[in-house]
Structure 1
């Protein structure tokens, strides 16, 4: 029987003492690169489009905020404008790196550039955490010494802020919900939208009553909410970099479907991870019947990969072996 290794991974855990007959290397790599490239454009492109819209919306509103802060003489709005400027830089970075992540695989990055997407999400989340800490630092003194503000000017800017940031959040929500990068940016914009909701509520109250302490209280509550979600998103990003098993992977279902394929006796050494938090990658050893022909091995591999695609596993590495080989990796 021909023993075949489908695709080499970066882990090298497929290597063992067995003798293998490989597929033609150029044919396999060409297919793999085509798959990665097509896969990237099938679900990443809408993300870059959404990030582009979010970037320009945030950039334009930052300019409006800076002008509005000067006209209303409001340090709160000026501080938020500076915060939004940081958001704009973060979104611009996310947009650039998401586009970069769409590149197909090459000699330097065999799995393509998809890791640049969670890298951007990591940077965005760190900026978000720093921004939230800055809000704490600026807001706590105002709890002790509340400052008077131009309530009418704040109300007008708050309405515009809620509208602009709300549109950006809705645009991102309409895209790929599996993109960690998009989630991080959406969290940025949600923070801004909620912040302006707080400003809106506070400005309406302050139009009728002199209670400026409302603004810092709402700001602190929003900062706590954003910090919680930022750390949650950061944990998901770190799991991608540490190659943890993706949460949406169901090992039992995967085993059940693969074992139903003709000539498959058992499977072991199943490894699953993700490059970008969206598409899953899997390698495994298949124990198959003795004396299968090359054509049967080829058909078997095709059937396994086809089954895995229906389970949202886009990249599969296979090693075929028989019971007589006695694989050392069997647990």
Structure 2
């Protein structure tokens, strides 16, 4: 048991260290692009590029928040925070979802403004700059893509970068179309389509972040399968008082009472159950046992 725990901890810390490097590279790349985009925006007198530079600066801030969350997650427990600061990863993922929704709102408002008051756009300058954005944002999203399936916080950063890549693709298309047709209304139409795509992808992140912040069961955990896992062990007669919640975006905890048949080895049952729970994604399990016949009917035995 101790060996398995140490292996899990070592693997988790190695993964966090790897993600730290990815986030640092992503922050540097995106910060450099913000500087270049803002410079082109000033030179071409393009409000659109300057606005996008501000939006990308917000994404750099989101990446910094994600990196900070991983740093906080490594802080050991204290007298006041017995789980350390691992819950900060959930709060950051929630904040990132809110930032994404705010970005969608800004895109919609800007699009409506452009419908009402179309302005001339330098299609070539916009397209070339947005093309560079595709490379930077696309590379960042690719670096985060593998880990985003297992960590809500990484998923938030991934969605930021994927959304920015979509925005850049849309800007390139609109820039080329405007250069060929002179129809400036193409710009807000493409922007609204991009906003819809971002909104759909962000909604799930927001819902999951809210659930975890309220100590709800993580999406990847099937509570019915957990109950069955607990019940099916030899010597377990029934289970009650099951609680499952997220300690962080990667760590899930469980507490449960196991009612055992008489003459059952409680320690052996607990060891077997913990092993199965780890395989199901629950890394911290606190199990209480009681002997059959001592569980009252009003305690909710299942």
Question: Equivalent residue for 1:83?
Answer: 55
Q: Give distance in 2, aligned partners of 1:268 and 1:45.
A: 38
Whole-angstrom distance in 1 between the partners of 2:7 and 2:73: 14
The aligned residue for residue 18 of structure 2 is 46
Size of the aligned set, in residue pairs, is 300
Q: 1:37 to 1:108 in 2, by over 3 A?
A: farther
The separation in 2 between residues aligned to 1:274 and 1:43, in whole angstroms, is 19
Contact 1:125 1:233 in 2 (8 A): yes
- Is the 1:55–1:92 Cα contact (8 Å) retained in structure 2? yes
Identify the residue that residue 123 of structure 1 maps to in structure 2.
95
| Larger-gyration structure (1/2) | 1
Structure 1, unmatched stretches of 5+, are 1-27
Compute the displacement of 1:42 (Å): 4.9
CA contact (8 A) 2:130 2:168 kept: yes
Find the counterpart in structure 1 of residue 145 from structure 2: 173
Distance 1:119 1:33, change over 3 A: farther
Match of 2:295 in 1: 326
- The partner residue of 1:197 within 169, 180, 183 is 169
Q: Deviations over 1:148-172 (max 9, x none)?
A: 1111211211211111100011111
Moved more, 168-177 or 75-84: 168-177
Q: Which residue of 2 aligns with 1:297?
A: 266
Q: Normalized against structure 1, the TM-score is what?
A: 0.83
Deviations 1:199-223 (A, max 9, x none): 1111111222211111111111212
Q: Deviations over 1:76-117 (max 9, x none)?
A: 001101111111112112211222112333333222322111
User: Residue 254 in 1 paired to residue 226 in 2?
Assistant: yes
Moved over 4 A (4+): 30-40
C-alpha displacement of 1:46: 3.3
- CA–CA distance in structure 1, aligned partners of residues 260 and 11 of structure 2: 30
Structural RMSD (CA): 2.4
- Tell me the TM-score normalized by structure 2: 0.90
In the TM superposition, 1:277-316 aligns within 5 A as: 277-292=249-264, 296-316=265-285
Equivalent positions of 1:152-163 (< 5 A) are 152-163=124-135
| Structure-2 residue corresponding to 1:138 | 110
Aligned ranges 1:8-157 → 2 under 5 Å: 38=10, 40-157=12-129
Partner of 1:9 in structure 2?
none
Aligned residue for 2:120, secondary structure, equals coil
CA distance in 2 between partners of 1:124 and 1:207 (Å):
35
Counterpart Cα distance in 2 of 1:36 and 1:275: 16
User: Which of the two has greater helix per residue?
Assistant: 2
Using the TM superposition, give the Cα deviation of residue 257 of structure 1 relative to its aligned residue in structure 2, in angstroms: 3.4
SS in 2 for 1:223: helix
Q: 3-state DSSP class of the match of 1:324? A: coil
- Give the match's secondary structure for 1:285: strand
Q: Distance in 1 between matches of 2:26 and 2:299?
A: 48
Q: Secondary structure at the match of 2:299?
A: coil
Q: What SS class does the counterpart of residue 254 from structure 2 fall into? A: strand
Alignment CA distance shift 1:183-1:140 (3 Å)? same
Going from structure 1 to structure 2, the CA distance change for 1:329 and 1:82 (only over 3 Å counts) comes to same
Q: Distance in 1 between matches of 2:148 and 2:116?
A: 43
Using the TM superposition, give the Cα deviation of residue 32 of structure 1 relative to its aligned residue in structure 2, in angstroms.
Answer: 12
Structure 2, unaligned runs of 5 or more: none
1:214 and 2:186 aligned: yes
